[in-house]
Structure 1
Amino acid sequence: MAASVKQLSTFIAIACVIGLALSLNSYYLAITLEEDDEYEAWCDISGYSSCTKVLQSEYSSGFGLIAPYLGNDSFLNVSNGIFGLLFYTIELILGFSTSSLTVKAQAVLLFLSNAVLAWLAYVLLFEIQELCIICIGLYFTNVIITVLTIVRFRRLQQAKPKPSSGTKKKAPAKKGRSKKD
């Protein structure tokens, strides 16, 4: 049985709440690590999986892209967790709209977000060379929201009434006497 648009919106909302929780945790850990270098995050589970190393890297603020171009003091060079909180809040709000335009806007934001996360996944694996449970959780959350949004958009398109062909059939001419007679 296929999920309805309302059910898909609910699933998107649940995924957004998970994204918000992960982003909030990332932001909390980033702040805590700034204040206490000795703090050990709950997600530091082995020599290969360390959220601490990731959150203390240059890539944990402004995606590692803002500081080189706009400087460390730029208002955009904030913790990636802040961007996540903003993004998932917007996605949560947009997720309940049934407007095609809103769903398209949601898809564009998801595309941009997935591009940024692909960049961060590359950095995670090849630059920092650590696994981060929070980061991987965010990657999966975004993929789930993206798939659900695409399915939701298709369902909304299917639910739209089909436009007519544009040519109206003319009413048959009345038989009988014309005014000229």
Structure 2
Amino acid sequence: MLLEAPNWTFDGQALILNGDGRLWTLSLADRSLSEVPLTGVPALNNDHVLAPDGETIFLSADDGHIYRAPLAGGRGTRITDDDGCFHFLHGVSPDGEHLAYVGIEGGDFTRPGRLMTTASDGGAAATVDVGPGHCDGPEYSPDGTWLYLNTESFTMVPGHAQLGRVRPAAVSSSSS
């Protein structure tokens, strides 16, 4: 099985991985691999981010949506709306209240991805303008005031992505 996208648990005792559309924990103490039993979440792609609480994980699924689930396993809940985009998660704000992702309109991978943010408990998404080129990998700065990403918007040569930083867009939660 191909295991991808390792994230350390906050205690440094394990890695969280994707493999075969499922989530796995690799214990470093005994080198055992165990599936994180999730329900209500379709097969996963390799995008996942641990929430700052260390008990929750945000996941991108093959259905194009982002989900939240307990890191120990259990029922996941969908966060993103049916807005015509595929949602590829990359970052969670330090306070755990916002997510940054790349939206691919209509699942058309010939079109550039757009930088998007949303509240981590759902609600309307906001687009962050980073220019016309494809962007990927948005991550919040440790203080949450910036999003760092790679983008082709700052170059005239296709395939030569540059690093950039922008302010996150303001979003509101579905519970407010």
TM-score (norm 2): 0.23
Greater relative CO, 1 or 2 (CA 8 Å, sep 6+): 1
TM-score (norm 1): 0.23
Find the structure with the greater CA-based Rg: 1
Q: Which structure's residues are more often helix, by fraction? A: 1
